[in-house]
Chains A and B, each alone.
Chain A
């Protein structure tokens, strides 16, 4: 009768979700680590340009969101929307610009929900925080991937799951960061 039953069934094993996320994220981190050449001398690593750091940090951030979305899989609307958005953004960088542009037009509603995730810190500060008088629901639709296309009930359920996954993601990332000496 109550939605929570369905929600619990889909998120029935938060530990398994966390495990899936951890494994994917660590794999991606190792890949990123291997693909970035080590600095010739330790002192140079401290003077790497802020742009480089920003680029790497953006890669790690996207790896985190993508690992979480893939760990959740097709079960949730927000993860589907996020995976699609990340895939389109990736393809656009490589080859299929025209196709992506067409799809982007069709998926315009997904864009806004994922915009915050794809924005770099620089872009974020440039955009600033515009003062809008929107209702809480509109704001929530912008924050949750794919939120603009959802009914209110679905939006609230997806938000709950999205928030729990984000918390897991933050917890895992801080554990990893603390593990380094």
Chain B
């Protein structure tokens, strides 16, 4: 028997993921995205979930950009030493 070495994309150790597992993961993502979560609808297609996830990630990136700008201005204009303790306390409690 000739051993055929077919180059497959998947590594030999990983098992093929089933559709059920993918559906599970998609529904888990669905619960994370506020847009879909708030609609209280169970019937959301996978492509819609992926699309909303992409939109959500992009909006989070935009928020990080805006917050960085805000923090830049705040850092430049204020004295942080006195605020540090208050910030740390409020974040870690």
- Write the residues of chain A forming the contact surface with B, with a CB cutoff of 8 angstroms: 2-4, 18-19, 22, 26, 29-30, 32-33, 36, 38-39, 42, 45, 48, 53, 56-58, 60-61, 64-65, 116-117, 121, 135-137, 139-140, 143-144, 151-153, 156-157, 159-160, 162-164, 166-167, 169-170, 172-177, 179-181
- The smallest C-beta distance from B50 to any residue of chain A, in angstroms, reads 3
CB <8 Å contact, B29 and A135: no
A156-B25 contact given A30-B80, A56-B72, CB 8 Å threshold: yes
Shortest C-beta distance, B34 to chain A (Å), equals 9
Check A32 against B75 for contact (C-beta < 8 Å): yes
Binding site secondary structure of chain B: helix
Q: List 18 A-B residue pairs with CB atoms under 8 Å apart, sorted by A's residue number.
A: A29-B80, A30-B80, A30-B84, A53-B72, A58-B68, A61-B68, A64-B64, A136-B50, A139-B50, A151-B14, A153-B22, A156-B25, A156-B26, A160-B32, A163-B57, A164-B32, A170-B60, A175-B87
Chain B interface, number of residues (Cβ within 8 angstroms): 48
Interface string of B12-41 (1 = CB under 8 A from A): 001001000110111011001100000000
- Using a CB–CB cutoff of 8 Å, the interface residues on chain B facing chain A are 10, 14, 17, 21-22, 24-26, 28-29, 32-33, 46-47, 49-51, 53-54, 56-58, 60-61, 63-65, 67-78, 80, 83-84, 86-88, 90-92
Closest-by-CB residue of B relative to A121 is: B65
Chain B residues positioned under 8 Å from A39 (CB to CB) = 76
Q: Chain B's nearest CB lies how many Å from the CB of A67?
A: 12
